[in-house]
Structure 1
Amino acid sequence: MTAAGVDVVARGASVRGPRGPVFEGVDLDVPAGGLLAAHGPAGSGRTSLLLALAGRMRLSGGAIRVGGHVLPAHGRRVRRLVAVARAAPAVDLEERLRVREVMTERCLTSPGVTQRAIREAFDALGLAPHGEDLVEDLGPADKLLLATALALAEQPGALVIDDVDDGLPPDAHAPVWAALDRVREHGPTLLAGCLRPPPPTPGLHTLLLPRRSRDRLPAGTATAREDSDT
């Protein structure tokens, strides 16, 4: 289940919405296998930034390079490299489904993903969900790790997971971040969004995003844009 991580670089990356900048002038350098924690309050553009890094939101300005592929020209290649585990409301698990159903769905929709690969990802994250459990009945930590495991099973070069600390009780923060840090042992670079930065760990890169806009990301904003690769 090990994949090669990719580096992620941004220079002056910006996205504007109808009411002004969602985020602007972002510079970052995350080496292959590193951990980015983009943190800030609601309205700071965390989700939009993560989707832009994943090739699923078009920039208004600046540039992003993922594993040597520059956006937007190489959008398809970047989308193949980067798996999005959660970036609500655009990307999230269907809460009305059972765990076994979301596993089956992932095997059908993501080439190369198997039930075995998903269960190996569960083991890597210390997760042991029951197949008949409804996603909506899972606790916030298990729901987060389930989404992460499904994405990890795709063997991506980088993995996006937003709202890491959303709804987590205080005593769950450290175990969840420790579990996510183990994702990097399997290769992928981890691009995370959170309200507050995680505990210090080797390879951690933090980015504070100030609140800039009241724009909210509408459902369906993250799309697999058909950018031309050259």
Structure 2
Amino acid sequence: MGAEAEERPHGAAVVVDGFGLRGPRGWAFREVSFRAGPGTLVAIEGPSGSGRTCLLLALTGRMKAKEGTAEVGGLPLPKKMAAVRRISALGHVPGVSELDPAFTVAEHLGERAMLQRRFDGSVRTFLRRPSERRAAARARIDEAVAAAGLDLAALPKGERTSVRDLERLEALRLSIALALIGRPRLLAVDDADLKLSDTDRAEAWALLRSVADSGTTVVAVCSEAPEDALRITTLDATATAPATEADGADGAGAPGDGDKAGRGDTAGSADKPAGDLTEDTTEEGAADALAETGRA
């Protein structure tokens, strides 16, 4: 019981100061600063090509920032990228972490539980009887599926439903369930509201909010953030500034410039004018930054 309790997720605080990532043809994002306490729902909003996904991957140790500093769960980036990867998990991120349309829901869940046991299990786990290991894996799957709100019985063929037959919201729930099997301290999701109806979008944010309320810090990329999230706004190359600052939900964040961005007091444009930049943030710059890390 005690060992299981120690495995329960506790959110990772995120502290970001002047964070920036540059590719061969420009900045993917630059001068991002904010603070988020454990269990915060952080929404990265902005137009396509403004570096949202690159920021998400940098905060989870999947891409290496070129300037500024960041800490996730007390682990400094980019120095401790591998350690940050161990305490974070990716939900849906196109080109990086995607569902296989030919797999069934059961196959995805079983594979993830097996990999979790093989690569992240303790010595004590390997000493258990096979029946105990199977029961523990099933318990993890059931816990993650419940947390993601995925009703397996409601799927067309239950667990045997292929991913290609899932609705967009169901696929999002499955990707989040897979990530939660590892009980991460930080969950990252890209395109959280893409191609969702207003009703499904509300359900998606309710899901992410519930995950955050359970103790896991959530960082989600979106086109439009809900008002109750800590909103970080990335800007395109035509904007007056390349990145944003935001106050943390715990009240300890760097002062933002919310009036300029029209986002209240949680997000705003950086003070540095665009004329001070050698290169603007571009969609190509974001793509090049992904390519540099082999994540394109």
TM-score, L = length of structure 1? 0.89
Q: Give the C-alpha shift of residue 124 in structure 1.
A: 2.2
User: What's the CA shift string for 1:43-72, capped at 9, x where partnerless?
Assistant: 011111010000110011111101111012
Task: Give the corresponding residue for 1:156.
Answer: 184
Task: Give the corresponding residue for 1:53.
Answer: 59
Task: Give the corresponding residue for 2:68.
Answer: 62
When the two chains are superposed, the root-mean-square deviation of aligned CA atoms in Å is 1.9
User: What's the CA shift string for 1:166-196, capped at 9, x where partnerless?
Assistant: 1111221111111111112332100110011
| In the alignment, structure 1 residue 15 sits paired with structure 2 residue 84 | no
| In the alignment, structure 1 residue 194 sits paired with structure 2 residue 219 | no
Distance 1:74 1:106 in 2: 24
Distance 2:294 2:96 in 1: 6
CA contact (8 A) 1:165 1:195 kept: yes
Distance 2:34 2:107 in 1: 37
SS at match of 1:131: helix
Q: 1:81 aligns with which of 87, 112, 120?
A: 87
Q: Give the C-alpha shift of residue 121 in structure 1.
A: 1.9
Distance 1:148 1:121 in 2: 8
Q: Give the C-alpha shift of residue 214 in structure 1.
A: 2.1
| 1:1-230 paired onto structure 2 within 5 Å | 2-110=8-116, 111-112=120-121, 114-129=137-152, 130-198=158-226, 200-201=227-228, 204-211=229-236, 212-215=281-284, 216=287, 217=290, 221-222=294-295
Unaligned segments of structure 2, at least 5 residues: 1-6, 122-135, 153-157, 237-280
> Which structure shows the higher helix fraction?
2
User: What's the CA shift string for 1:85-139, capped at 9, x where partnerless?
Assistant: 1221112122221111111110122235823212222222321132111112111
Question: What amino acid is the match of 2:170?
Answer: D
Distance 2:178 2:65 in 1: 27
Identity level (%): 35
CA contact (8 A) 2:69 2:77 kept: yes
The structure with more radius of gyration:
2
Unaligned segments of structure 1, at least 5 residues: 224-230
CA contact (8 A) 1:161 1:191 kept: yes
TM-score, L = length of structure 2? 0.70
Q: How many residues align?
A: 220
Could you say which structure has the greater relative contact order, defined with CA pairs below 8 angstroms and 6 or more residues apart?
1
Question: What amino acid is the match of 2:294?
Answer: T
